[in-house]
Amino acid sequence: MSTVLVEHEVDGSGGDGRPRGTTDLLQRTDTADARGAARPGPALGLVGGHPLGAVGLSAAFGGSEVVAVGSGALPPRSVVVADLTCSGCSPATADLAQLARQHRLVLLMGQGQVGLAEEALADGALCSVGAWEPVAELRRAVAAAAAGTPWVSPAAAAAGAQVREVRALLSRQEREVLRLYGADLPVKSVARRMGITVGTAKEYLKRMRAKLAVRGVPVGTKVDLRVLAEQLGLLSPRAQCGSAPAVVDLRAEVG
């Protein structure tokens, strides 16, 4: 509870000589004010995402300090939130696996990074929640991680199940065609990299599209296939950033 000073109008009938309308200062205990001013919790680690994400994360947890991973300020087994909402700023799979070994990792994933989150969970991340979900779900994930308890929100679990289903539909060769073709390589270059004929590469694409179309997955354009490759975690997040190297080194295809 907290105590505040409030103005109180005196009605002038108390015999103290003050006219009606005089104001006085009284003390009042205000529990609502105390509830609104939550104490900051322990520091949270943050990796990935836009720098402004640290501001929102701090606000979501009552002003808790948010520390960038790698600053040396986080002790081992701290709770770290990996922001996977920006495809160009997300940590790579190997980085997430290392973080999961050192800390209690919570994945805040965007719709296009479900495959990456699935791999991170398999590599030891404790919790996962969708960025499209209410903040309360993120708080629940962080609380579970702090207790060392694995937890995946129902929405994140459903998204992960869909990704696993789509992956299971595709053969290894079809996934490789999707990875290369989704990285903007022409079919001729895809065939060259895989050591197959152009006709075989086209057949893989045709079979893949037929399988996925039946399940209602958009596959009609090359953009659709790139989005799908991202969702399945086939493209390196770092390689999607404009300042990073290309997903596929196109210089090898010159000549």
For 27, list phi and psi in degrees, rounded to 5: -90, 140
| Cβ(113)–Cβ(236) below 8 Å | no
- Cβ atoms of 230 and 113 within 8 Å: the answer is yes
Is residue 193 predicted with pLDDT exceeding 90? Answer: yes
Which of 166, 188, 164 is closest to 177 using CA atoms?
A: 188
Tokens for 81?
Answer: 């939130």
- The lowest-confidence range among 89-103, 154-168, 222-236 is 222-236
The mean per-residue pLDDT over the stretch 73-82 comes to 89
- Closest Cα partner for 143 from 113, 111, 106? 106
Cα gap 211→217, rounded to integer Å: 9
190 pLDDT higher than 70:
yes
Both structure tokens of 209: 């599209």
pLDDT: which is higher, 90 or 32: 90
Q: Which of 61-75, 88-102, 124-138, 156-170 has the lowest mean pLDDT?
A: 61-75
The answer to whether 232 and 166 are in contact (CB under 8 A) is: yes
CB of 77 closer than 8 Å to CB of 104 = yes
Question: Which stretch, 23-32, 91-100, 213-222, has highest mean pLDDT?
Answer: 91-100
φ/ψ bin of 48: left (φ > 0), alpha (ψ from -120 to 50), beta (otherwise): left
Closest among 202, 173, 175 to 186, alpha carbons compared: 202
| Residue among 151, 158, 111 at smallest CA distance from 131 | 111
User: In 3-state terms, what secondary structure has residue 109?
Assistant: strand
Residue 214: per-residue pLDDT: 86
Instruction: Give the torsion sign (CA, 187, 193, 198, 201).
Output: negative
**pLDDT (mean) for 183-208:** 93
Q: What is the Cα–Cα distance from 214 to 26, expressed in whole angstroms?
A: 71
Q: Minimal CA–CA distance to 222: which of 174, 192, 188, 185?
A: 185
The more confident residue out of 47 and 32 is 47
Distance between CA atoms of residues 48 and 114, nearest Å: 15
CB 109 within 8 Å of CB 125? no
